[in-house]
A and B are shown apart, each in its own frame.
Chain A
Amino acid sequence: MTDPAAFPVSRLRPSDLLRVGAANLRVRRLRVLLASLGIAIGIATVLAVVGVSSSGQADLLRRLDELGTNLLTVKAGQTLLGKDAKLPAESVAMVGRISSVYAVAATGDLTMGVYRTDRIPADQTRGISVRAAGLTLLTTVQGEVAAGRWFTAATERHPTVVLGDLAAARLGVRAPGGTVWLGGRRFTVLGVLKPVPLAPGIDRAALVGWTAARDLLGFDGHPTTLYERSTPEEVEAVRAVLPRTVNPEHPEEVTVSRPSDALAARAAASGAFTGLLLGLGAVALLVGGVGVANTMVVSVLERRGEIGLRRALGATRGHIRLQFLTESLLLSGLGGLAGLVLGAAVTSGYALAGGFPTVLPFWAVGGGLAATLVIGSLAGLYPAVRAARLSPTVALGAT
């Protein structure tokens, strides 16, 4: 009698399932807004945190790429007795002879201050150092002149000075042409440099031509810091031979560093503090999920009549379960989408304001969406099962 082939079955088309799931959300707009707000905030937080830190990181790495990672800095260091060591005067030429080195320059520290005028007390150096600079310094560290000009073979013999970015700001000098008080005489400001990211010491320095330093300021010609660039593949090899090349007698005194490493470390470290904020976003997501679950539970209680009617119209338990799961998924999905839009807006706003490239890692966007779906199903599971368990007669009898 019950021929399975001819037996009437309930069918709910997938498109209808979506319509049914969305229908209730359309009617209760305020509730939908409030319930999905938590998820939206959570996703937005996570995405903005990841996006902002990725954008910052991308900016650092981009700058690193521009600056190159092949600059090595050699410092004289200290003697075994703890005194400040000096590099041999010929060390610049020695380094220049390493075949893969294509640029080398030196600065030599001078123990004196630079002042705006001769009226400033000598102890108010404002942390500005005075350094003798070789002609090739600017090209080696890839510095740029913000105003005025760099030394030439002619000007480096005269009492002229080129100021680092910070030094100029501290002296109150913004344009070349004026004078500063240095070593008991006036020096004309020849130029002001832009910040030099790979050699921050230069930012705080007043640079004097190598010859002028020797002739006018009693400089002994021993470099304190060497900057050199080699072909990128040879950086490690050059690094190994540098101490012996620079100071054959006391290679142990020499310290070699790679300034780009510090920048790279900063790029890596900028991701570290985001862990805490990510945790915050995760908590917001969790709270949002609880909000969705709560809304769904209330919804099931309120809509017993509707559930009863649907059962009477032929919905199976599975159909009811699917309907409430769909609703929950739509609810959290809506929040998730809003969160993604918000997070992306925050990130691009931040990046635009800072002049950074906007970076939204795919894993963050995909992970955000996946998290929403997981939260939506988890939050909807219990209410959906409860709704499906409701017997049709009880549901119809409920007020």
Chain B
Amino acid sequence: MTTPIVCLENVVKTYPGGVCALRGVNLEIHRGELLAVVGPSGSGKSTLLHMMGALDRPTSGRVLLAGHDVAALPDRRLSGLRASLIGFVFQRFHLAAGVPALDNVADGMLYAGVPLRERRERAAAALERVGLGGRVTHRPHELSGGEQQRVAVARAVARRPLVLYADEPTGNLDSVAGAEVLDVLRDLHADGTTIVIITHEQEVAAAAGRQVRVHDGHIVADVPGGGP
């Protein structure tokens, strides 16, 4: 068995004011997995994403990303981990307005120290990969919702992250556009990208192989599905 790229050991997260979002979570994610974290809103799955994505530190327990203990790292180091190991896709796309798709994707590698030329080359390739090779110069407002989310996916994978987190990637999309984005994610997984989808929709979760169910800050089920 290989070492997991993400490993949570008895992770507890309590927010100021006493809200306990995670109450001792253990989770391992291995290279090449396509995993869905499912749970109703308020179940703690967003907090779980923050832990796995090195966006926040646990109150107690250990979070290991590629062997690095997140809790022990200063902000500078955490940012370094995010810059080189992790890709994010958000429900609200977070594309820069008025900026062409190519540069939106290229900016995903801004903090990885990649030179501008190389960023653009890799961005063009990533856009091609998500089926937007013909939309390189389009600005976000000229793209459909599904296309915008695919640009965001391209931005997340252009720097070849160790793991890609997609937080409700279809939440702002109709079912057709949503299916489109899920297809892209599945294609990327087939090419070897490790993907974690956080969702409250059962149909989206069903697209993934393994399903991790979260409820009230606990993992209540971890179903190694048969895969798509």
A residues contacting B by CB (< 8 A) are 1-2, 7-13, 15-16, 19-20, 23, 26-27, 305-306, 308-319, 391-393, 396
Q: Which residues of B, 56-103, contact A by the 8 Å Cβ criterion?
A: 56, 67-69, 72-73, 75-77, 79-86, 88, 90, 92, 94, 96-99
- Could you list 8 A-B pairs, sorted by A, with CB under 8 Å? A2-B72, A7-B80, A16-B110, A310-B111, A314-B82, A314-B84, A314-B110, A392-B55
* A306 CB contacts on chain B under 8 angstroms: 94, 96
Closest to B55 in A: A392
Tell whether, in the assembled complex, residue A392 and residue B56 are in contact, meaning their CB atoms are under 8 Å apart.
Answer: yes
Given A319-B111, A392-B55, the answer on whether A314 and B68 have CB atoms closer than 8 Å is no
User: Any chain A CB within 8 A of the CB of B113?
Assistant: yes
Q: Digitize B94-136: 1 where CB-to-A-CB distance is under 8 Å, 0 elsewhere.
A: 1011110000000110111101100000000000000000000
Cα of A5 to Cα of B155 in the assembled complex, Å: 27
Report yes or no: A314 in contact with B80, Cβ–Cβ below 8 A. Answer: yes
Contact with A along B4-19 (1 / 0, CB 8 A): 0000000000000000
Whether B76 lies near A8 (C-beta < 8 A) is no
Q: Which of these, A11, A19, A26, A316, contacts B113 with CB under 8 Å?
A: A11
Q: Which residues of A contact B88 (CB under 8 A)?
A: 309, 312-313
B50, CB-defined interface residue at 8 Å: yes
Return chain B residues, CB-CB under 8 Å to A314.
79-84, 110-112
Question: When chains A and B are docked, how far (Å) is the Cα of A316 from the Cα of B69?
Answer: 18
In whole angstroms, what is the CA distance A23 to B113 when docked? 18
Q: Compute the total of residue contacts between A and B using a CB distance below 8 Å.
A: 109
B80 touches A313 (CB 8 A): no
Given the interface pairs A23-B96, A310-B111, A314-B112, the reply to whether A8 lies near B84 with Cβ below 8 Å is: yes
Q: Does B53 contact A (CB under 8 A)?
A: yes
Are B82 and A312 within 8 A (Cβ)?
A: yes
Find out whether the CB atom of A20 lies under 8 angstroms from the CB atom of B92. no
Q: Give the distance to chain B from A317, nearest Cβ to Cβ, in Å.
A: 5
Asked if A313 and B110 sit within 8 Å, CB to CB, the answer is yes
Say whether chain B's binding surface is mostly helix, strand, loop, or mixed: mixed
Query: Total interface residues on B, using CB and 8 Å?
Result: 36
Interchain CB contact under 8 A, A8 and B111: no
CB–CB B98/A27 < 8 A: yes
- Chain A proximity of B94: nearest CB distance (Å): 4
Least CB distance, B86 to chain A, in whole angstroms:
8
Chain A residues, CB < 8 A from B113 = 9-13
- Residues from chain B with Cβ under 8 Å of A1 in the complex: 67-69
Q: Could you tell me if A313 and B50 are in contact, using CB atoms closer than 8 angstroms?
A: no
For B85, list chain A residues within 8 Å (CB). Answer: 8
Complex CA distance for A309 and B92, rounded to whole angstroms: 11
Q: Could you list 20 further interchain pairs (A-B, Cβ under 8 angstroms) beyond the known A2-B73, A27-B99? A: A8-B80, A8-B81, A8-B84, A10-B80, A11-B111, A12-B113, A15-B116, A16-B116, A20-B110, A27-B97, A305-B92, A311-B82, A314-B81, A314-B82, A314-B112, A317-B79, A318-B76, A319-B79, A393-B50, A396-B90
The residue in A1, A11, A27 that gathers the most chain B C-beta atoms within 10 A of its C-beta is A11
Contact status of A305 and B81, CB under 8 A, knowing A1-B68, A9-B76, A391-B56: no
Q: How far is the CA of A393 from the CA of B53 in the complex (A)?
A: 10
| Chain A residues closer than 8 Å to B107, beta-carbon distance | 313
* Partner pick for A8 among B50, B83, B99, CB 8 A cutoff: B83
Residues of A within 8 A of B83 (CB): 8-11, 313-315
Query: Given A8-B83, A391-B56, A308–B94 Cβ distance below 8 Å?
Result: yes
Contact (A9, B94) CB under 8 Å given A312-B53, A314-B112, A317-B75: no
The answer to whether B97 and A10 touch across the interface, beta carbons within 8 angstroms, is no
Q: Let me know if B55 and A11 touch, CB within 8 A.
A: no
Task: Please name all residues of chain A whose beta carbon is closer than 8 Å to the beta carbon of B92 when the two chains form the complex.
Answer: 305
Distance (whole angstroms) from the CB of A26 to the closest CB of chain B: 8
A308, B76: Cα distance in complex, Å: 15
CB pair B75–A316 under 8 Å, yes or no, is yes
In the complex, what residues of A have CB within 8 A of residue B72's CB?
A: 2
Q: Shortest distance in angstroms between A209's beta carbon and chain B's nearest beta carbon?
A: 84
| Residues of A close to B110: CB separation below 8 A | 12, 16, 20, 310, 313-315
Of B81, B85, B86, B111, most buried by chain A (CB within 10 Å of CB) is: B111
**Residue of A with least CB distance to B92:** A305
Task: Assess the A309–B111 pair: CB atoms within 8 A.
Answer: no
Say whether A23 contacts B99, CB under 8 Å. Answer: yes
Return chain A residues, CB-CB under 8 Å to B90. 309, 312, 396
**A308 vs B56: C-alpha distance in the bound complex, in angstroms?**
12
- Bound Cα distance A391, B53 (Å): 13
Whole-angstrom distance between the alpha carbons of A11 and B113 in the complex? 5
- In the bound complex, residues from chain B placing their C-beta under 8 Å from that of A319 are 79, 111
Q: From A316, which residue of chain B is reached at the shortest CB distance?
A: B79
For B66, the closest partner residue in chain A by CB is A8
Q: A8-B83, A314-B83, A392-B55 are in contact. Are A309 and B112 (CB under 8 A)?
A: no
A279 to B71 CA separation, bound complex (whole angstroms): 54
A309 vs B90: C-alpha distance when bound (angstroms): 9
**Distance from A29 Cβ to chain B, minimum over Cβ atoms (Å):** 10
Distance to closest chain B CB from A143 (angstroms): 69
3 nearest A-B pairs in the assembled complex, by CB-CB distance: A314-B83, A11-B113, A8-B84
Residues of B within 8 A of A2 (CB): 67-69, 72-73
- Interchain CB contact under 8 A, B80 and A9: yes
Q: Which residues of B contact A316 (CB under 8 A)?
A: 75-76, 79-80, 111
CB of A313 within 8 A of CB of B111, answer yes
- Closest residue of chain B to A388, judged by CB? B75
